[in-house]
């Protein structure tokens, strides 16, 4: 019930969005032509507006990924989550600076965006990541259910600089006992009690 309650209390425009809108239109909210032109991305006259916006958000993510390297806070990766052309969250890779192996840019951004939205789903959101997601992040993106994902560098580009996730994909088809990290099933019957409780729970919040 708590999750449902928090979802219904979703603010019309989250704080982060207000910040971004103010930044977009100028500190005092005036919709001057200059403020609007400043917001527009660099693009050719014939480029569709959608594509220009996608490039604008990806360029911001790329700048974040570069500054993450310069500041030594983690790997050369960043992600931005956008809804209705407003940035909800920015994430950079923080694995080494936070000792968190899951702190990939996409995960950091998903957590921030969901906090901002007060929701466990990224309905209607566009997801910009500077590199094709690794298996963990791809899984997280599917659970978060954004509208679309845009990426810049490829998995092969990442492999070329020492971030090769192919070994994880190679593990999927292997039988559990033959994986690099062996998996062995124990106590299934005892664990299934929680599954049965879930099935019988009438007021559950499904996701």
Binding site for Zn ion (CB under 5 A): 104, 134, 136-137
Q: Which of 146, 83, 141 minimizes the C-alpha distance to 108?
A: 141
Q: Least CB distance from residue 129 to Zn ion, whole Å?
A: 9
Q: Least CB distance from residue 108 to Zn ion, whole Å?
A: 10
Burial annotation 137-161 (CB, 10 A radius, 16+ → b, else e) = beebbeebebeebbbbbebeebeee
Q: At 112, list the tokens.
A: 């921030």
Pick 24 or 136: Cβ nearer Zn ion: 136
Catalytic residue ranges:
106
Q: Least CB distance from residue 92 to Zn ion, whole Å?
A: 12
Q: How far apart are CA 35 and CA 44, in angstroms?
A: 19
Pick 14 or 133: Cβ nearer Zn ion: 133
Pick 14 or 74: Cβ nearer Zn ion: 74
Q: Are strands 86-92 and 148-153 parallel, antiparallel or unpaired?
A: unpaired
Pick 58 or 137: Cβ nearer Zn ion: 137
Q: Supply the DSSP symbol for 84.
A: T
Contact 14, 117 (CB under 8 A): yes
Q: Least CB distance from residue 162 to Zn ion, whole Å?
A: 14
Q: How far apart are CA 57 and CA 42, in angstroms?
A: 11
The distance from CA 70 to its chain's CA centroid, rounded to whole angstroms, is 22
Pick 78 or 137: Cβ nearer Zn ion: 137
Q: Least CB distance from residue 93 to Zn ion, whole Å?
A: 8
Query: At CA 51, angle to CA 110 and CA 59, rounded to 5?
Result: 55
């Amino acid at each position: 019930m708590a999750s449902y309650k928090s979802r219904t209390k979703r603010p019309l425009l989250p704080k982060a969005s207000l910040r971004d809108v103010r930044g977009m239109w100028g500190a005092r909210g005036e919709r001057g032509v200059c403020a609007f032109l400043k917001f527009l991305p660099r693009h050719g006259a014939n480029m569709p507006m959608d594509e220009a916006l996608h490039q604008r958000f990806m360029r911001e993510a790329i700048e974040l990924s570069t500054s993450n390297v310069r500041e030594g806070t983690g790997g050369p990766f960043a992600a931005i989550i956008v809804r209705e052309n407003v940035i909800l969250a920015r994430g950079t890779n923080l694995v080494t600076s936070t000792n968190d192996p899951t702190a990939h840019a996409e995960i950091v951004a998903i957590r921030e965006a969901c906090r901002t939205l007060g929701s466990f789903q990224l309905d209607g959101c566009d997801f910009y990541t500077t590199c094709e997601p690794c298996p963990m992040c791809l899984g997280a993106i599917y659970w978060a259910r954004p509208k679309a994902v845009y990426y810049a560098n490829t998995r092969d580009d990442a492999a070329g600089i020492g971030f090769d996730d192919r070994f994880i994909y190679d593990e999927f088809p292997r039988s559990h006992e033959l994986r690099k990290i062996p998996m062995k099933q124990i106590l299934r019957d005892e664990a299934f009690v929680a599954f049965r409780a879930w099935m019988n729970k009438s007021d559950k919040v499904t996701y």
